[in-house]
């Protein structure tokens, strides 16, 4: 039987250590019958306010998967910011490097969710735009202790680039959830161990044309220095591209209510699985289960799954996942 890192080995539970550098938002979520057209007013359905932002989601998801989780980011000195910090602390995420900026609003996202579970988002960056290279330097000690560091594109691209390089030099694996897509400098690509994106972002980074397939565009990304590329395709599963092998993975059959945060759950699941010693295909399956479960409730942070829920979906024994 394979021994993953979080097994009880000689009486000690060894956890993954995951650092997350990124955004924190308050999500204001409204369900609607369909996406409104220009100038149209719709009567919506359910409404909710929850924690969100790709960084917040990934740090929270990692903690719920039994990892030691660290959040590096920025919030404002407002009720939204303190609410987000409180949620993280309650879920045992270390917030020692979560900076509070006075006189600045916390990031906010307005999310519309339609019947299929698909969503559209408008983001006000707020304090997230202030995350800088000094914040990255202050996190070096954590990077040296971490198995993986997760990044996204809801903070300044220069900060993301500096973070990828610093984390790689510290000796840990780097993950980039490359959405929303922004141009990356050439030096960033070679410092990405795992890049996770959807087809729209792949089109942005590789430059789509009628002659380019997903496989061809993915090959172009790998040639820039990325070690592994995962293209998520929602209910169709996704594709994994490495320099040694390519393979497809299937999605779990679930009833999607709101897929906000699903890719963040996937990213955290992948990083935790790999940190625990799972082979890539097993880690991708584990991550896919995390992403599926994140679609089963409204809002990002309420839907992020706990370890025992992932184990139940995978049909594994509780001893293997606790």
Instruction: Kindly report, residue by residue over 196-245, the tens digit of the pLDDT.
Output: 999 999 999 987 666 689 999 999 999 999 999 999 998 889 999 999 99
> What is the pLDDT at residue 299?
61
Say which range, 46-55, 170-179, 190-199, 203-212, has the weakest mean pLDDT.
203-212
**pLDDT number for residue 153:** 94
**303-316 average pLDDT score:** 89
Residue 6 pLDDT: 44
pLDDT of residue 255: 82
pLDDT of 256 reads 77
- Cis preceding-peptide flag for 49 (omega within 30 of 0): no
Decide: residue 214, CB within 10 A, 0-12 exposed, 13-18 middle, 19+ buried.
Answer: middle
Q: pTM here? A: 0.88
Question: Does residue 103 carry a pLDDT above 90?
Answer: yes
pLDDT score recorded for residue 253: 85
CA 96 – CA 145 distance, rounded (Å):
15
Whether the per-residue pLDDT at 260 is higher than 80: the answer is no
Q: pLDDT at residue 3 above 80?
A: no
Does pLDDT of 97 surpass 50? yes
Query: What does the alpha-carbon distance between residue 214 and residue 111 come to, in Å, rounded to a whole number?
Result: 28
Q: What is the DSSP letter of 6?
A: T
Mean pLDDT of 9-38: 81
3-class SS at 9?
A: strand
Residue 149, pLDDT above cutoff 80? yes
pLDDT on residue 197: 94
Q: Which residues of 106-132 are buried (b: 16+ CB within 10 A; e: fewer)?
A: bbbbebbbeeebebeeebebbbbbbbe
């Amino acid at each position: 039987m394979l021994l993953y890192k979080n097994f009880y080995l000689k009486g000690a539970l060894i956890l993954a250590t995951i650092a997350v550098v990124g955004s924190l938002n308050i999500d204001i979520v409204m369900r609607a019958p369909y996406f409104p057209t220009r100038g149209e007013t719709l009567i919506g359905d359910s409404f909710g306010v929850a924690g969100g932002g790709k960084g917040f989601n990934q740090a929270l998801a990692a903690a719920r998967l039994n990892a030691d989780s660290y959040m590096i980011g920025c919030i404002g000195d407002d009720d939204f910011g303190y609410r987000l910090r409180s949620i993280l602390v309650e879920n045992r995420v270390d917030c020692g490097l979560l900076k509070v900026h006075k006189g600045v609003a916390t990031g906010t996202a307005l999310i519309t969710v339609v019947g299929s579970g698909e969503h559209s988002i408008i983001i006000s960056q707020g304090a997230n735009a202030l995350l800088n290279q000094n914040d990255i330097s202050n996190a070096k000690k954590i990077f040296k202790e971490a198995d993986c560091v997760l990044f996204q594109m809801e903070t300044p691209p220069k900060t993301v680039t500096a973070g990828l390089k610093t984390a790689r030099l510290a000796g840990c694996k780097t993950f980039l959830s490359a959405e929303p897509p922004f141009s990356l400098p050439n030096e960033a690509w070679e410092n990405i161990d795992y890049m996770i994106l959807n087809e729209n972002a792949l089109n942005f980074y590789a430059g789509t044309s009628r002659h380019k397939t997903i496989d061809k565009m993915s090959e172009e990304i790998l040639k820039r220095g990325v070690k592994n590329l995962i293209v998520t395709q929602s209910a169709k599963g996704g594709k994994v591209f490495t320099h040694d092998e390519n393979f497809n993975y299937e999605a779990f059959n679930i009833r999607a209510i709101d897929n906000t945060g699903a890719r963040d759950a996937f990213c955290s699941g992948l990083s935790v699985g790999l940190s625990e010693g799972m082979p890539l295909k097993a880690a991708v399956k584990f991550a896919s289960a995390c992403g599926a479960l994140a679609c089963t409730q409204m809002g990002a942070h309420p839907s992020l799954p706990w370890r025992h829920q992932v184990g139940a979906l995978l049909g594994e024994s509780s001893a293997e996942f606790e």
